[in-house]
Amino acid sequence: MIRFENLTKGFWVQNEYKVVIDNLSVELPSGKSLALLGRNGAGKSTLLQMIAGTLDPDVGRISSDGSISWPVGFAGSFHRELTGAQNVRFIARIYGVDVEELIAFVEDFAEIGGHFHEPVRSYSSGMQSRLAFGTSMGIYFDTYLVDEVTAVGDAVFRRKSKAVFRQRMEKSDAILVSHEMGQVRQFCDAGLVLEHGRLTYFDDLDEAIALHQELMA
């Protein structure tokens, strides 16, 4: 369960306060993998970051009865001067998981070779995304926050990413942002549509997709 209570977030743009999330009060059910749909700029990534705790709301609060991942694929929390391995070691200690097991999993999964032991500042954006996705999948969460993560890498890596994500979904929930409706239908069983700062929940995924496509038309 994830609950929003009077959640509001906005940004100052050219001396004007633009509300992105507008006084949301809603409870998201457990046992669901939710598609978070909305047009570009609707605030989907902002909402994910607030759920993850990496971005504070201006007003209101978010509560949950389970563990929540950071946005899968988001590499912004890595220390650029540390190596990939050192970053993974640090994250393992924060989340209380076995350090060596997580390092071994990420090194094998990310497929970045010797770069794993080089500073993250030397990584390409794709390498950072591989490292971030592998680290996310190496830790078991009750809810995974996913922002277009399986688009990273070549076709072989994308297939591997989808396979491990599907395994995690057998025991965990997810909130997935994706512009690919095939991917949405593959991984999700309910939907959320974000429009003008308001969030609408649909237990029927097809209804959520229909509204989203109508708004995009």
Mind listing the pLDDT tens digit for each residue in 65-78? 999 998 886 666 79
Region at 2 (left for phi over 0; alpha for psi -120 to 50; beta for the rest): beta
pLDDT-above-70 percentage for the chain: 95
Across 36-46, average pLDDT:
93
Q: Give the DSSP letter of residue 168.
A: H
pLDDT at residue 136 tops 80: yes
Find the farthest-apart pair of alpha carbons in the chain and give their distance in angstroms, rounded: 49
Cα 76 from Cα 67, distance rounded (Å): 20
Question: What is residue 55's three-state secondary structure?
Answer: coil
Residue 75: what pLDDT?
A: 65
Question: What is residue 106's three-state secondary structure?
Answer: helix
